[in-house]
Structure 1
Amino acid sequence: MNKTLGLVITDGVGYRNFYLSNFLNEAAARFEKVIIYSGLPASVFDAHESENIKIVELPVFVEPFKTWFWRKFKEVAHLQLHKKFFGINDNLKANKSSSASNRGKATRLIYYLTRHFHSEKIISFLEKKQLSSIANHQVSRECVDFLQNDRPDFLFFTHQRPPYVIPLVYAANKLKIKTGSFIFSWDNLASKGRMAAPFDSFLVWSELMKQELLYFYPKTSGHAVRIVGTPQFEPYVMQRYEEGKPEFFQKHGLSSDKKTICYSCGDISTSRNDELYIEIIATAIAEEKISEPVNLLVRTSPAEEPERFSFLKEKFPFIRWNYPEWFISRKDHPEPWSQRVPSESDLVDLRGVLNYSDLSINMCSTMSLDFMLFDKPVINPTFGTKENDLYDDQKYLKYSHYERVMESGAVAIVKNEEELLREINFSLKNPNTRLKEQKELLKMQIGKPLEGTSARIAKALKEFSGT
């Protein structure tokens, strides 16, 4: 049976995971046609459009107040329902508002109401109100037209959370087209609010993520969930992203006779102490407190510009910087971060960083998993608490996904400068100390081998489409 797959790529991360991986080749081999519904400008894909791959640029959706209200109501109700989980409760507190704006006042009303009304039944009602609120929206009508013309057999969303996918979900429901979504990240279920919309089926990383999904979304049937791994790591086993060590070291100005410490940054919203940690490491190198000469390579977050590190670049000229090559594809978008798009050369750089560094340091990032895939020791500095003057990053150790990392023994958690420097010296000399624990953690979190990830996803989507 010939089938058409609708592939909804909402942002730059979806582009990386499902376009720069091997997924499109696998999907094109199993479906007669693949239609990419893009939240990015079509020009990002134009050069790759082919006979059985079509690109449709979605109109920019600016969420009306009433749609925002029902979505916010739904998300806060979900947080209230599951606030016994530390990460969810932390986000519940963080989303409160003291603003005098209409949205600020509405948020306070929502918080008051959801203290008493937050059952699954209430949340389902709110989801229906959210979807019905855009029934007559111009973007919804355009999405209905797209789907009527293309008639995809299945509509697959590469991210379950962006609010601007709602018109397309509404259109699919109206036309009785089945929908599915990929759970985007390892922390999305046990620390974030409700999904953007209800979907018919899901792809998840692992058995652990499947159980989380069934717990937080009890109306989901286990038969509607497939364990596939995640495509974000697949480029690490794809030949086209390989680069030789001499080329990598020359490109980044690294000394080949030294080991390399890589500090990978988060963005300022969650990783505000990055500058402190980098300065401590660089000072220790300058003062010869590290047990051997080392390169220090810093990879900044692709979600922000690197200006906050400018003083470090001036103070420590020996630091080598890797600024991710993610270009801004569209300005003046309601979600500007979503319009940052990675280049293929950045994936080459990232793979080289992971492969040729000897030690990873980051603040409780997914990058811990990336480095573990290359058998590298990982240190997580978390100096900040509620009691000191630093941003409280120790709270992330209580989030469900990172509690498991801490309990596994796969990383070194350090809470002050002395511990950090001691662990750097220990890990440089004993890089394989936690290797067994790392392998076990990766098996639990990712669930499937990196090889064949896209093939598993395409196969699952073909099954969901009705063959």
Structure 2
Amino acid sequence: MKRLGVVIADGVGYRNFILSDFLKEASALNDEVVIYSGLLKSVYHHQDIPNNVTIKELKIYRETSFTWLYRKLKEVAHMQLHKKHFGIKCSLENGYPKKLKSKRDYLTLLVYWLTTVFKSESWIKRYENWQYKTYTSNNTYREYLSVIKENIPSHIFFSHQRPANLAPFLAAAKACNIPSSSFIFSWDNLASKGRMLGDFDSYFVWSDLMKKELLHFYPSVKSEKVTIVGTPQFEPYVLEAYKKNKEYYHEYFNLDKDKKTIYYSCGDKSTSRLDPLYIKTIAEAIKNNKIKEEVNLIVRTSPAEDETRFLDLIDEYPFIKWNFPDWPLTRTDHPETWSQRVPSFKDLCDLRALLAYSDININMCSTMSLDFILFDKPVINAVFGNKENGLYNDQKYLKYVHYSHVIDTKGVVVAKNEDDLITAINLELASPEKNKVNRDKILALEIGKPLKGTSKRIVEALNQI
């Protein structure tokens, strides 16, 4: 029997592999598909799940002190080894304990000190081996072993390579001698984050660029073990089920159909702290007729947070339209609560409508730049903050490896102050086609395959290995 195991880590994994065509394709090419879910089993009841798909809800794993120490050594050593890359250097600095208030702070400081010396690939492997040995006496790990043995898969596919709480599940798969693979979850994960949760037998990446990054940061990975498949993150944009017409767009979001629309997409407050400033700047420009055309302004907040930090703007500018993503929090007793926010089918329909019918997008160096460019629309990146002006330094994100490629293509417009932003809005509204060639360069670089057929491509590649 050909049985595929699929590990869904979080709400974004649910979006990528449940709300795309992945399950339909996987169920057609396998006798059985077993979903090992880091989400509650009940969240899948909202979808049409094929008959040969079984869902197994994974018990929440809570890390022990020794496991944390070895994992931390592994992750920090990886960042020490690659800190010449600006994004990784920033992540390394962000994790350094600023104040020593607890035992964990002192241990973190010790980890940073040790890994300035013991940071080679061989040391990283050693830390990981120690980390994985701690699982053998863990009750959750033993339960994972039992769950796997109930329906032993031919292969286990991880939809995300990073969540540390899935490491004992990977350890259990290895103990059962089941081959494993992982999809590299996001375009920034390799060049700005710490170590993966473990070693996989094979890997799936978005593009040739991402393959080169993987081989650089993980030199023990063999090139033939890496397959370029694109990403299912954007596949719903080409599926008929998610398409809404322009009338729905204007009516649902309460927009004036005779005006063009500026769509501002927020990041989360940990990295995109200046969202309120950028929204206020745009609103004031509209209010004071600095935008040459009459426009709608719609703001979509991050799925990872609620509207709390925007309440003053909601009151001050009643003409702004707001879209709060329908990603309900499904449980609060998880170590990473944000991961338990799960998108609805309708929310993805609404997002697609915003992308398809809005005229320009403004964001702070977000993945949303790619989403909007896929619809061949102009994108402006607002980054006012730097080390000198007292604002949160969001201009640093322009130097991150994954985003520097975007900037180098000149397919997006960078606005470093209010005048730049207003000028860019007026120019992009007047001439939306002027950057088309450069936008196409971004897509060719970052998304290596066509959106149509992405899920089928991944499933066929899984079957081949």
TM-score, length-scaled by structure 2:
0.99
- Which residue of structure 2 lines up, in the alignment, with residue 237 of structure 1? 238
User: How many Å separate the matches in 1 of 2:326 and 2:420?
Assistant: 33
- Which residue of structure 1 lines up, in the alignment, with residue 28 of structure 2? 29
User: How many Å separate the matches in 2 of 1:112 and 1:247?
Assistant: 57
- Which residue of structure 2 lines up, in the alignment, with residue 111 of structure 1? 112
User: How many Å separate the matches in 2 of 1:99 and 1:50?
Assistant: 52
Tell me how far 1:51 sits from its aligned partner: 2.9
**Contact kept in structure 1, 2:266 and 2:299, CA below 8 Å:** yes
1:176 alignment partner AA: N
State how 1:178-197 maps to structure 2 within 5 Å.
178-197=179-198
Tell me how far 1:290 sits from its aligned partner: 0.3
Question: CA-to-partner distance for each residue in 1:331-373, whole Å, 9 max, x for gaps?
Answer: 1211101100000000000000000100000000000000000
**Contact kept in structure 1, 2:23 and 2:50, CA below 8 Å:** no
- Which residue of structure 1 lines up, in the alignment, with residue 270 of structure 2? 269
User: How many Å separate the matches in 1 of 2:389 and 2:291?
Assistant: 26
- Which residue of structure 1 lines up, in the alignment, with residue 161 of structure 2? 160
- Which residue of structure 1 lines up, in the alignment, with residue 43 of structure 2? 44
User: How many Å separate the matches in 2 of 1:318 and 1:406?
Assistant: 32
- Which residue of structure 2 lines up, in the alignment, with residue 64 of structure 1? 64
User: How many Å separate the matches in 2 of 1:203 and 1:376?
Assistant: 28
State how 1:314-325 maps to structure 2 within 5 Å.
314-325=315-326
**Contact kept in structure 2, 1:46 and 1:55, CA below 8 Å:** no
The change in CA–CA distance for 1:251 and 1:46 in structure 2 (over 3 A counts) is: closer
- What SS class does the counterpart of residue 342 from structure 1 fall into? coil
Note the residue ranges of structure 1 that are not aligned, 5 or more in a row. none
User: How many Å separate the matches in 1 of 2:391 and 2:38?
Assistant: 37
- Which residue of structure 2 lines up, in the alignment, with residue 366 of structure 1? 367
User: How many Å separate the matches in 2 of 1:262 and 1:68?
Assistant: 41
**Contact kept in structure 2, 1:385 and 1:393, CA below 8 Å:** yes
2:60 alignment partner AA: V
- Which residue of structure 2 lines up, in the alignment, with residue 55 of structure 1? 55
Question: CA-to-partner distance for each residue in 1:384-410, whole Å, 9 max, x for gaps?
Answer: 011112100000001001111111000
TM-score, length-scaled by structure 1:
0.98
User: How many Å separate the matches in 1 of 2:71 and 2:434?
Assistant: 46
Question: CA-to-partner distance for each residue in 1:279-327, whole Å, 9 max, x for gaps?
Answer: 0000000111100100000010001112100100100000000110001
Tell me how far 1:49 sits from its aligned partner: 4.5
- Which residue of structure 1 lines up, in the alignment, with residue 281 of structure 2? 280
**Contact kept in structure 2, 1:80 and 1:115, CA below 8 Å:** yes
**Contact kept in structure 1, 2:231 and 2:447, CA below 8 Å:** yes
- Which residue of structure 1 lines up, in the alignment, with residue 431 of structure 2? 430
Aligned-residue RMSD, C-alpha: 0.8
**Contact kept in structure 2, 1:49 and 1:55, CA below 8 Å:** no
User: How many Å separate the matches in 2 of 1:49 and 1:380?
Assistant: 39
Question: CA-to-partner distance for each residue in 1:421-443, whole Å, 9 max, x for gaps?
Answer: 01100000000111101111101
**Contact kept in structure 1, 2:24 and 2:50, CA below 8 Å:** no
Question: CA-to-partner distance for each residue in 1:54-74, whole Å, 9 max, x for gaps?
Answer: 000000111111111111110
Q: Does 1:73 align with 2:101?
A: no
User: How many Å separate the matches in 2 of 1:444 and 1:358?
Assistant: 24
- Which residue of structure 1 lines up, in the alignment, with residue 152 of structure 2? 151
Tell me how far 1:330 sits from its aligned partner: 1.1
2:305 alignment partner AA: E
User: How many Å separate the matches in 2 of 1:312 and 1:319?
Assistant: 9
- Which residue of structure 1 lines up, in the alignment, with residue 216 of structure 2? 215
- Which residue of structure 2 lines up, in the alignment, with residue 3 of structure 1? 2
User: How many Å separate the matches in 2 of 1:132 and 1:82?
Assistant: 26
The change in CA–CA distance for 1:138 and 1:49 in structure 2 (over 3 A counts) is: farther
User: How many Å separate the matches in 1 of 2:258 and 2:10?
Assistant: 40
- What SS class does the counterpart of residue 134 from structure 1 fall into? helix
2:37 alignment partner AA: S
**Contact kept in structure 1, 2:27 and 2:50, CA below 8 Å:** no
**Contact kept in structure 1, 2:206 and 2:447, CA below 8 Å:** yes
2:414 alignment partner AA: I
- Which residue of structure 2 lines up, in the alignment, with residue 453 of structure 1? 454
1:235 alignment partner AA: P
- Which residue of structure 2 lines up, in the alignment, with residue 347 of structure 1? 348
4+ residue stretches of structure 1 with deviation over 6 A? none
Tell me how far 1:197 sits from its aligned partner: 1.1
User: How many Å separate the matches in 2 of 1:99 and 1:461?
Assistant: 47
- Which residue of structure 2 lines up, in the alignment, with residue 256 of structure 1? 257
- Which residue of structure 2 lines up, in the alignment, with residue 412 of structure 1? 413
1:259 alignment partner AA: K
Percent identical residues: 53
- What SS class does the counterpart of residue 94 from structure 1 fall into? helix
2:248 alignment partner AA: E
Tell me how far 1:46 sits from its aligned partner: 3.6
Q: Does 1:381 align with 2:382?
A: yes
Tell me how far 1:166 sits from its aligned partner: 1.2
